[in-house]
């Protein structure tokens, strides 16, 4: 089975009187459990494609299947449900909430689902330990290095047991040693069967 299937996907943006074609008929499959890197020069549509895969935007044309669900035709509410239950995001800029602790940042996706019990908090603590932040549970992002902040973002992406993790340049702001450590986490997650697209 495929984690996602993309057929003739296009995305156009109309800016004033100009139409920008960010994607032009992209087609490929990602089997479940695969580890895929999307590569290309700046401006080639990589982030646009990840936004579509992550249900943050909808294509202009084409078909986009996540599992068996055609998300290209879904409503905003349906897309939000898919995002919250089946997709984990890791961004280059971490996107952590500065006022929250490590555990609270990991818990943010659960908050939007109204899942804030003791069991959910314990899961967030377990995930913090898993990414090597067990001794930083009450720290805020400003008290963490870039690599540690990215580890929080990875744990947050895992909190809903996603079928797919989408990572948009997850090591772009990190030094080479820290990048290797972060990529080792992705490697381990993939060995455990999680589909990763970065």
Predicted local confidence at residue 35, as pLDDT: 96
The predicted structure's pLDDT at residue 80: 86
Question: Phi and psi for 104 in degrees, rounded to 5?
Answer: -65, -35
Which one is predicted more confidently, 91 or 23? 23
* Predicted pLDDT at 114: 79
**pLDDT of 122 strictly over 90:** yes
- pLDDT surpasses 80 at 5: yes
Query: Is residue 1 predicted with pLDDT exceeding 80?
Result: no
Question: What does the pLDDT read at residue 195?
Answer: 96
Taking only the tens place, the pLDDT of each residue in 61-82 is 999 999 888 988 888 889 888 8
In tens, the pLDDT along 29-50 reads 999 999 999 999 988 999 899 9
pLDDT score of 155: 94
pTM: 0.89
Instruction: List, in sequence order, every beta strand (DSSP E) within 126-180.
Output: 164-168
pLDDT tens per residue, range 174-196: 889 888 988 999 999 999 999 99
**What pLDDT, on the 0 to 100 scale, is given for residue 173?**
81
What is the distance between the alpha carbons of residues 192 and 41, in angstroms, rounded to a whole number? 30
Burial of 27 (0-12, 13-18, 19+ CB in 10 A): exposed
Task: Report, as an integer, the average pLDDT of 50-68.
Answer: 91
What is the mean pLDDT of the segment spanning 1-21? 90
Instruction: Say how far apart CA 61 and CA 10 lie, in whole Å.
Output: 5
């Amino acid at each position: 089975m495929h984690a996602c299937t993309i057929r003739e996907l296009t995305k156009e943006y109309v800016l004033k009187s100009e139409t920008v074609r960010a994607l032009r008929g992209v087609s490929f499959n990602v089997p479940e459990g695969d580890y895929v890197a999307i590569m290309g020069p700046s401006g080639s549509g990589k982030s646009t494609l990840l936004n579509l895969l992550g249900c943050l935007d909808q294509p202009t044309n084409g078909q986009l299947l996540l599992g068996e669900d055609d998300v290209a035709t879904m409503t905003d509410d349906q897309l939000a449900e898919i995002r919250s239950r089946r997709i984990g995001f890791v961004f280059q800029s971490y996107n952590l909430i500065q006022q929250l602790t490590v555990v609270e940042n990991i818990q943010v996706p659960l908050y939007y689902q109204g899942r804030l019990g003791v069991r959910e908090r314990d899961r967030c603590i377990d995930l913090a330990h898993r990414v090597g932040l067990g001794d930083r549970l009450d720290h805020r992002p400003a008290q963490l290095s870039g690599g540690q902040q990215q580890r929080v973002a990875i744990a947050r992406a895992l909190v809903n047991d996603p079928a797919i993790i989408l990572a948009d340049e997850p090591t772009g702001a990190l030094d080479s040693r820290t990048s290797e450590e972060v990529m080792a986490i992705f490697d381990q997650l993939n060995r455990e069967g999680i589909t990763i697209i970065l």
